[in-house]
């Protein structure tokens, strides 16, 4: 049934590699306007990015991957944002990849030479990967808040975030094997370094079974579990607001160092932070923090500048 459905629409939709960036409704500086995302400011220096296709269970279509890539590039260059909350609208966080949206790109016409077709598909996969890598590389910490279903690409997206929390009804599934694929947008690369339990990881990846919220908490995939979505989002705003009170120079450098340390040896990580802190130790933020501490006052830090 799935194969027949994909075949019937394969000639009606474009490959994502052919979707121009101009299809995104780019916003003016300081505002965010995207077709598949709703962006708001719940608190000072905090952005809330919400997956906004509730009628489709927030399935990730081609436009979503364009939108989230451009949105987080914009956030990375937003001097007034210091922390980000990521959530999903409607009944589920996300049902994963919207197969119908990608049908033509995945199936092709059947007439392409296999070698050339392979390079086209590699380009598609790399673009999808980049859409979540920009979340990981965004200089502001990103807090993922998940309720109900988090399937396939949703797990990929969560793995690219800094902090993960969920509701008690949340469940997670590395679903790709059920449609004849190996997960290719980050789960198999990032999740082993998050939970550290390769036996469990392989069980989840080989079976596509659901991991419930309590198991996700026990293995360290999420750090907090809440009874309701409302409570979770409230606590996420509190956490993001606390992060936003810290030096943006210190927070951004800390995120950069943690990402680097995950992928390098201890010696390499120590050398990397030494090179960074020979500049950071001269930061005005350090002096501001020291003076505020001596005066028993809350420090106030300047935003980054958007341009030199």
pLDDT for 30 equals 62
pLDDT for 102 equals 82
CA distances from 15 to 99, 124, 171, 247 (A): 12, 8, 30, 42
pLDDT for 21 equals 30
pLDDT for 103 equals 76
pLDDT for 10 equals 37
What is the phi/psi pair of residue 47, to 5°? -110, 145
User: What interhelical angle do 187-195 and 198-207 show, nearest 10?
Assistant: 140
The position carrying tokens 């201890």 is 266
pLDDT for 110 equals 64
CA distances from 244 to 12, 32, 81, 266 (A): 45, 19, 8, 28
Three-class secondary structure of residue 14 per DSSP: coil
- List CB contacts of 164: < 8 A, sequence separation 6 or more: 143, 144, 146, 158, 221, 222, 223
pLDDT for 105 equals 65
Distance of CA 76 to the CA centre of its chain: 13
pLDDT tens digit sequence for 99-139: 888 877 666 666 678 898 899 899 999 999 999 999 999 99
Alpha-carbon gap, residue 2 to 137, rounded angstroms: 35
- The CATH superfamily of 248-294 is Lyase 2-enoyl-coa Hydratase, Chain  A, domain 2 (1.10.12.10)
Distance of CA 173 to the CA centre of its chain: 16
Q: Which residues of the chain have pLDDT under 70?
A: 1-30, 105-111, 306-308
pLDDT for 180 equals 93
Reported pTM: 0.88
Which residue from 44, 51, 37, 49 is spatially nearest to 76, judged by alpha carbons?
A: 49
3-state helix/strand/coil string of 20-38:
CHHHCCCCCCCCCCCCCEE
- For 50, the token pair is 């919400």
- For 108, the token pair is 């092709």
CATH topology identical between 2-244 and 248-294: no
Dihedral over Cα of 68, 71, 77, 78: its sign: negative
3-state DSSP percent of the chain in helix, strand and coil, to 5? 50, 15, 35
The hierarchical CATH code for the domain 2-244 is 3.90.226.10
pLDDT tens digit sequence for 191-215: 999 998 999 999 999 999 999 999 9
Contact 154, 185 (CB under 8 A): no
Alpha-carbon gap, residue 308 to 304, rounded angstroms: 10
The position carrying tokens 């399935």 is 59
pLDDT for 9 equals 34
Domain residue limits, the chain? 2-244, 248-294
Alpha-carbon gap, residue 102 to 16, rounded angstroms: 8
The position carrying tokens 């392989």 is 202
């Amino acid at each position: 049934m799935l194969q027949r459905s994909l075949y019937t629409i394969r000639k009606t939709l474009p490959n994502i590699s052919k979707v121009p960036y101009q299809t995104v409704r780019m916003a003016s500086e300081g505002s965010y306007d995207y077709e598949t995302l709703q962006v708001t400011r719940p608190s000072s220096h905090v952005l809330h990015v919400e997956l906004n296709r509730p009628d489709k269970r927030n399935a990730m279509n081609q436009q979503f991957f364009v939108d989230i890539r451009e949105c987080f590039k914009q956030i990375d260059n937003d001097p007034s944002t210091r922390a980000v909350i990521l959530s999903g609208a409607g009944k589920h966080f996300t049902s994963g990849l919207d197969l119908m949206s990608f049908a033509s790109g995945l199936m092709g016409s059947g007439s392409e030479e296999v070698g050339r077709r392979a390079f086209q598909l590699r380009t598609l996969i790399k673009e999808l990967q980049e859409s979540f890598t920009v979340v990981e590389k965004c200089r502001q910490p990103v807090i993922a808040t998940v309720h109900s279903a988090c399937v396939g690409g949703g797990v990929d997206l969560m793995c690219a975030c800094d902090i993960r929390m969920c509701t008690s009804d949340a469940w997670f599934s590395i679903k790709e094997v059920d449609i004849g694929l190996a997960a290719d947008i980050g789960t198999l690369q990032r999740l082993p370094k998050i939970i550290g339990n390769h036996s469990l990881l392989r069980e989840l990846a080989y079976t596509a079974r659901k991991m419930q919220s309590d198991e996700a908490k026990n293995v360290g995939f999420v750090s907090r579990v809440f009874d309701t979505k409302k409570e979770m989002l409230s606590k996420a705003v509190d956490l993001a607001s606390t992060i936003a009170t810290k030096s943006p120079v210190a927070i951004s450098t800390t995120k950069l160092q943690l990402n680097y340390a995950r992928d390098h040896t201890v010696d390499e990580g120590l050398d990397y932070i030494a090179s960074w802190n020979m500049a950071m130790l001269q930061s005005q933020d350090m002096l501001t923090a020291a003076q505020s501490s001596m005066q028993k006052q809350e420090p106030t830090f300047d935003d980054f500048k958007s341009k030199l």
